[in-house]
């Protein structure tokens, strides 16, 4: 059971308010009162299965003060910090959780002139910055280079000779940690410089437009806000029967620290995390075995892209796999015995195999971090832990009605577990609370897997588009282009790759775009922006792309589509200049 209270007896925690409108709002804190509590994330969010182990990045910076509520009153009365408060409330907007979702919302709120506070129980930046996107991309930057340097054939094709490539594990781990620290500081400073009040402690909802934060019990502070956003994120999901010890059976929280590079590691789950870590581990010399519950690897991707990705990212590497099986019991290595993994058939549930390996990474999805948020005080029941919301991120109560002034964004609502989706949802909510209706089109949000080469996508997969077309009675067509025909890709000796577009030939609407190839993660935005802005193929195909660039792969994709009524609405009459 999760509960948002402190259990560590050594932990002395008192809440405070840091007003960031300037360095001088001391809010009863003097430098000698500032100290590290030495609390791990688990201690703060007691019982939560986040499995973070102790590190500077997962410690809580806490301040000793007992004057928090006075400070709040002072802030409101003075109109100190960002914006001017709506009459009768301490803040216009209070956000619980300073991950990328909360951070994006806070920045936009200040731009809109809202007096804003953000409550954080751990460190600013949340999963993405401290235990997700940021450190993982640092490791992937290393794996990309290692892979290239180790590929003698690839190097020779450029006429290059490279001596055997090697790496220093601690150096690689430091690169990831340093990057996380840098980005965390950047995020914190951006909040401070805009005058967002960072309130340290565990936040929860105590009633309509009312939030408390701090240590559960004696030193909590209640604040009021015209609007409240819950942005409390997620933690690794660990299936029943799996014993995580943080050393030999690990989640991404541990893997990102790269404390070891096991000779043989099983990765349970071949989604984003599994795939990205397979890229890292194999580049650093590990052998990988995937265990995937569904019948194919990478089940979340467009099947055609998945197949090609398997040919390039899995088959030629030191990777084997078991599909259609569940890992039901995983026991960490102890007393000289290896990690033991018991597999059952996903359909018949019959025992299938037992693997004995050096380590196992559990990459079976993420669980929302929503317990202990006081949702019962506003009559909200979670669904498998996720907070139910409508298309405007407005929280829905147990009777199916909207809870006024309460929103939930990011991983905690489960709509799309991506950093930029969390932030975009936050911005959308701020637009609404500032008086402008806004609905985010989730089908225009791109996603990318940062393997070498990368995979990216936006909108529907081909099977999803076919299903929709059948239901709604329209035709779909597919266009494809290859990186093999692209000058820049060939100059880089990176011809492995395709771009695929699913579209409506009757009106030129783009339904989905999927790219596998060099820099696919950067290339997808032309398509995602087109979908977001409602741009049709017959218009975008006239846009000019620099030569020679990888983006010509996408240019060719648009140009090769066959739209029946090929009448451009955007191409203006020729103008003499």
- The annotation places the binding site for NAD(+) at 269-276, 292, 365
Q: Which residue has the tokens 């390039």?
A: 312
List the structure tokens of 452.
């070498």
Query: Please, which of residues 309-328 interact with ligand NAD by CB under 6 A?
Result: 326-327
Interaction partner, residue 294 (ligand NAD, ligand FAD, none; CB < 5-8 Å by kind):
ligand NAD
Pairing label, strands 510-517, 454-459: antiparallel
Interaction partner, residue 300 (ligand NAD, ligand FAD, none; CB < 5-8 Å by kind):
ligand NAD
Out of 83, 97, 271, 512, which residue is the one contacting ligand FAD (CB under 6 A)? Answer: 97
Is residue 220 involved in binding ligand NAD (CB under 6 A)? no
Interacting stretch for ligand NAD, rule CB under 6 A, among 91-99, 196-204, 363-371, 388-396? 363-371
Out of 60, 61, 68, 98, which residue is the one contacting ligand FAD (CB under 6 A)? Answer: 98
Q: Between 365 and 385, whose beta carbon lies closer to ligand NAD? A: 365
Out of 361, 430, 449, 550, which residue is the one contacting ligand NAD (CB under 6 A)? Answer: 449
Interaction partner, residue 363 (ligand NAD, ligand FAD, none; CB < 5-8 Å by kind):
ligand NAD
Task: Please return the burial class of 168, using the count of CB atoms within 10 Å of its CB with bins 0-12, 13-18 and 19+.
Answer: exposed
Interacting stretch for ligand FAD, rule CB under 6 A, among 95-103, 163-171, 279-287, 489-497? 95-103
Q: Between 203 and 505, whose beta carbon lies closer to ligand FAD? A: 203
DSSP 361: E
- The answer to whether the Cα torsion of 53, 58, 64, 67 is positive or negative is negative
List the structure tokens of 113.
């002139």
Q: Across 485-528, where does the E strand assignment appear? A: 498-503, 510-517
Q: Which residue has the tokens 């929503």?
A: 370
Is residue 269 involved in binding ligand FAD (CB under 6 A)? no
- Is 547 catalytic? The answer is yes
Interaction partner, residue 449 (ligand NAD, ligand FAD, none; CB < 5-8 Å by kind):
ligand NAD
Is residue 447 involved in binding ligand NAD (CB under 6 A)? yes
Please state the closest distance from residue 135 (CB atom) to ligand FAD, in A.
8
Is residue 509 involved in binding ligand FAD (CB under 6 A)? no
Contact 283, 318 (CB under 8 A): no
Return the exposure string of 226-242: e unless at least 16 CB atoms fall within 10 Å of the residue's CB, then b.
bbbbbbbbbbbbbbeeb
List the structure tokens of 365.
């999805």
Q: Between 62 and 362, whose beta carbon lies closer to ligand NAD? A: 362
Q: Which of 74, 10, 4 has its CA nearest to residue 38?
A: 10
Contact 252, 140 (CB under 8 A): no
Contact 292, 323 (CB under 8 A): yes
Interaction partner, residue 269 (ligand FAD, ligand NAD, none; CB < 5-8 Å by kind):
ligand NAD
Is residue 294 involved in binding ligand NAD (CB under 6 A)? yes
Q: Between 378 and 524, whose beta carbon lies closer to ligand NAD? A: 524
Complete DSSP assignment for 391-445: TT-EEE-TTSPEEEEEEE-GGGG-S---HHHHHHHHHHHHHHHTT------GGG-
Query: Please, which of residues 335-374 interact with ligand FAD by CB under 6 A?
Result: 369, 373
Could you list the residues known to form a binding site, using ranges.
137, 203, 232-234, 269-276, 292, 365, 411, 417-420
Check 154, 175, 545, 547 and give the catalytic one. 547
Phi, then psi, of 266 in degrees rounded to 5:
-90, 130
Residues that contact ligand FAD, how many (by CB under 6 A) = 38
Task: Please return the burial class of 337, using the count of CB atoms within 10 Å of its CB with bins 0-12, 13-18 and 19+.
Answer: exposed
Q: Between 302 and 556, whose beta carbon lies closer to ligand NAD? A: 302
Query: Please, which of residues 406-435 interact with ligand NAD by CB under 6 A?
Result: 417-418
The span from the CA of 220 to the CA of 201, in Å, is 9
Out of 420, 488, 519, 541, which residue is the one contacting ligand FAD (CB under 6 A)? Answer: 420
**Strand (E) or helix (H) holding 155:** helix 152-157
List the structure tokens of 417.
């577990």
**What is the binding site for ligand FAD (CB under 6 A)?**
4, 96-102, 119-122, 126-128, 131-133, 136, 202-204, 231-234, 252, 273, 369, 373, 410-412, 417-420, 422
**Active-site positions?**
547
**What is the binding site for ligand NAD (CB under 6 A)?**
239, 268-274, 276, 291-294, 299-300, 326-327, 363-366, 417-418, 447-450
């Amino acid at each position: 059971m999760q509960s948002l209270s402190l259990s560590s007896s050594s932990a002395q925690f008192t809440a405070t308010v840091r007003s960031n409108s300037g360095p001088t709002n001391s809010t009863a804190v003097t430098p000698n009162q500032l100290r590290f509590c030495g609390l791990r994330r688990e201690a703060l969010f007691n019982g939560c299965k986040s499995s973070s182990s102790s590190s500077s990045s997962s410690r809580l910076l806490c301040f000793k003060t007992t004057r928090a509520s006075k400070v709040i009153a002072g802030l409101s009365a003075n109109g100190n910090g960002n914006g001017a408060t709506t009459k009768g409330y301490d803040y216009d907007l209070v956000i619980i959780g300073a991950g990328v979702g909360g951070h994006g919302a806070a920045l936009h709120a200040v731009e809109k002139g809202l007096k804003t506070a953000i409550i954080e129980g751990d460190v600013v930046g949340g999963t993405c910055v401290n235990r997700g996107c940021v450190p993982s991309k640092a490791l992937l930057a290393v794996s990309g280079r290692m892979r290239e340097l180790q590929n003698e054939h690839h190097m020779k094709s450029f006429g290059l000779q490279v001596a055997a490539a090697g790496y220093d594990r601690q150096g690689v781990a430091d690169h990831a940690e340093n990057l996380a620290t840098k980005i965390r500081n950047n995020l914190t400073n951006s909040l401070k410089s805009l005058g967002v009040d960072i309130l340290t402690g565990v936040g929860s909802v105590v009633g309509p437009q009312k939030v408390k934060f701090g240590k559960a019990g004696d030193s909590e502070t209640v604040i009021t806000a015209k609007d409240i956003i819950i942005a409390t994120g997620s933690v690794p999901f660990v299936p029943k029967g799996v014993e995580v010890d943080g050393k030999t059976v690990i989640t991404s929280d541990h893997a990102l620290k790269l404390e070891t590079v096991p000779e043989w590691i099983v990765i349970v789950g071949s989604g984003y995390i599994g795939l990205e870590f397979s890229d890292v581990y194999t580049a650093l010399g590990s052998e990988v075995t995937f265990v995937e519950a569904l019948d194919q690897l990478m089940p979340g991707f467009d099947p055609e892209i998945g197949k090609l990705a398997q040919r390039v990212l899995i088959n030629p590497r030191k990777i084997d796999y078991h599909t259609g099986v569940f890992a039901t019991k995983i026991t960490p290595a102890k007393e000289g015995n290896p990690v033991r993994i018991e597999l059952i058939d996903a359909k018949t549930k019959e025992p299938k195999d037992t693997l004995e390996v050096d380590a196992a990474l559990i990459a079976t999805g993420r669980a929302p971090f929503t317990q202990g948020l006081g949702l019962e005080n506003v009559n909200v029941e979670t669904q498998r832990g996720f907070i139910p919301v409508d298309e405007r991120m407005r929280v829905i109560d147990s009777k199916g009605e909207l809870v006024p002034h309460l929103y939930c964004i990011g991983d905690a609502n489960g709509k799309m577990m991506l950093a930029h989706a969390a932030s975009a949802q936050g911005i959308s909510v701020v637009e609404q609370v500032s008086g402008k209706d806004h609905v985010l089109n989730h089908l225009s949000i791109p996603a990318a897997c940062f393997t070498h080469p990368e995979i990216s996508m936006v909108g529907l997969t081909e099977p999803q588009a076919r299903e929709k077309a059948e239901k709604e009675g329209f035709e779909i067509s597919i266009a494809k282009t290859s990186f093999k025909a692209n000058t820049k890709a060939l100059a880089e000796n990176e011809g492995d790759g395709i771009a695929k577009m699913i579209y409506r030939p009757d009106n030129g609407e783009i339904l989905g775009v999927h790219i596998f190839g060099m820099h696919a993660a950067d290339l997808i935005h032309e398509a995602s922006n087109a979908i977001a802005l409602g741009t049709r193929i017959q218009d975008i195909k006239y846009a000019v792309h620099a030569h020679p660039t990888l983006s010509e792969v996408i240019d060719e994709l648009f140009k090769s589509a066959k739209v029946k009524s090929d009448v451009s609405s955007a191409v203006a009459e020729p103008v003499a200049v």
